Amino acid sequence: MAPTPGAGRGAGPQPWRRTVTLALSSEEGDIVSGREDVLVVGGGVVGACVAAALAERGAAVTLLEREPEVCPPESAVFANCGLLVPSEVEPLAHPGALGQGLRWMLDTTSPFYVRPRVSLALMRWLWLFRSACAPEAAQAHARVLFELSAASAALHDALAADGGEAWHYRRNGWLAVYETAQGMDAAAAQAARLQTLGVPSEVLSAADVRQRVPQVRPGSVVGGVLTPEDGHMDPAAFTRAMASRAERAGATIATGAEVYGFASGGPGAVRGVRTTRGDFVADQVVLAAGAWTAALAGQLGLRLPIEPAKGYSIDLARPAGLPDTPICVGEPHVVLTPLGDRLRLGSTLELSGWDLRIRPRRLTHLRRAAARVLGIAEDAPAGQVWRGPRPLTPDGLPVIGRSPRHPNVVFATGHCMLGLSLGPVTGKLVAELCAGETPSHDLEPLRVDRFAL
């Protein structure tokens, strides 16, 4: 996503044709209309990366965000754990996940909770998830994630060279610690499997863990696994930096523009979108609205199995001297990410549909893990409490590609818990698609219709 010479509207590759934008006024406020090369729907991390990559290729781009600001608190990325994890290549759907998930599903404090409810969409998602847990499918998906993650990590490094301190960018590893011998044995076995894919790691004893992180309470862990090529950042700061990068390259950002419909451009074509700030017309439309994308796909006659998976986080004061390396408490799947003077406790998956209420027991789950491992008081004052819906696909892979029914509509969604990690490579792939180029990665495993829409 490095700027191309002469980047901006009208520069770079030339599939682009329309560069006219109009701004009209009414008593209700501005109504933005006109015609662009590409509309990007969704102002989260994926949408911002897509808009930046397109604008730097010379496309006339408008990024549409329904909320008053890019990366609003309602988004999946606003206060997530901020991890860059090229090591996280084992998809959510893997052979051991099904049995483990069945034990967790009805436990409101478990890492993966499914609220019991009657939902045909959820039943379909769970059935597809079951199929994706087959060993051969999981192995194939892990290879896909490995290639995408490695490419995206390199793009993150390039972006960070141009201002990464603004979003607290670090590539100094990720340390997973384990409280039980059973958990440690499973982690060591997983690390060995991932090394066959090319993911480096180091298995550590309890003494090794405490040498790296002296704040770990004696006797609280039996060991850990360090993945040295991982990193972390402030996710909201990164997303807003990418939106600013897009603007500098010539993109327009329209906030408070909720998409509620599509304008037909003839058989199989979409002419534009209808929003609360007027109609936007474009040659191509990119749907990058995270968990909200499924509803937009439904308006186009596509059943996209994306479930909103609610995640939580709490920001506390960072303990004095705590190293600048994220820690994952392995068994409860709780991540502790240092971000400047804050320590963010986060993670968990909750499939509750669009019920975004905060469940105090989920927050207690985070606090207790931090108390056991780092000795942080369970009632330590919280600077911020957050929850947001991650776009969860049944097979753990994102959806990147053209609509099977609308050739000028591109999907860029379903990144599960890896939107921050995979944002830059998704932006590059979508820009290549929109420019009519051969994508730099095989998009067959990510195609929109792989779920038999």
Q: What is the DSSP code string of 82-136? A: -EE-TT--S-SS-TTHHHHHHHHTT-TTSSEEE-----HHHHHHHHHHHHHTSHH
Q: Which of 4, 107, 72 is nearest to 292 (CA)?
A: 72
Q: Quick check: helix, strand or coil at residue 437?
A: coil
Mean pLDDT estimate for the chain: 90
Instruction: Indicate the burial class of 361 (C-beta count within 10 angstroms; 0-12, 13-18, 19 or more).
Output: exposed
Question: What global pTM score does this model have?
Answer: 0.92
Q: Which of 296, 292, 261 is nearest to 278 (CA)?
A: 261
Question: What's the average model confidence in pLDDT over 14-34?
Answer: 46
Q: Report the DSSP pairing between strands 252-255 and 231-232.
A: unpaired
Can you give 54-79 as a three-state secondary structure string? HHHCCCCEEEEECCCCCCCCCCCCCC
- Is 9's pLDDT higher than 60? no
Superfamily of domain covering 85-119+169-230+307-391: D-Amino Acid Oxidase, subunit A, domain 2 (3.30.9.10)
pLDDT at residue 2, as a whole number = 41
User: In the block, which residue shows the tokens 């991540």?
Assistant: 335
C-alpha 18/C-alpha 10 separation (Å) is: 9
Q: Answer whether 39's CB lies under 8 Å from 272's CB.
A: yes
What percentage of the chain exceeds 70 in pLDDT? 90
Q: Answer whether 417's CB lies under 8 Å from 311's CB.
A: yes
Q: State the span(s) of the chain assigned CATH 3.50.50.60.
A: 21-76+236-305+396-451
Phi, psi of 226 (to 5 degrees): -100, 125
Q: State the span(s) of the chain assigned CATH 3.30.9.10.
A: 85-119+169-230+307-391
pLDDT at residue 4, as a whole number = 36
- Is 6's pLDDT higher than 90? no
Instruction: Indicate the burial class of 438 (C-beta count within 10 angstroms; 0-12, 13-18, 19 or more).
Output: exposed
Second-level CATH architecture of 21-76+236-305+396-451: 3-Layer(bba) Sandwich (3.50)
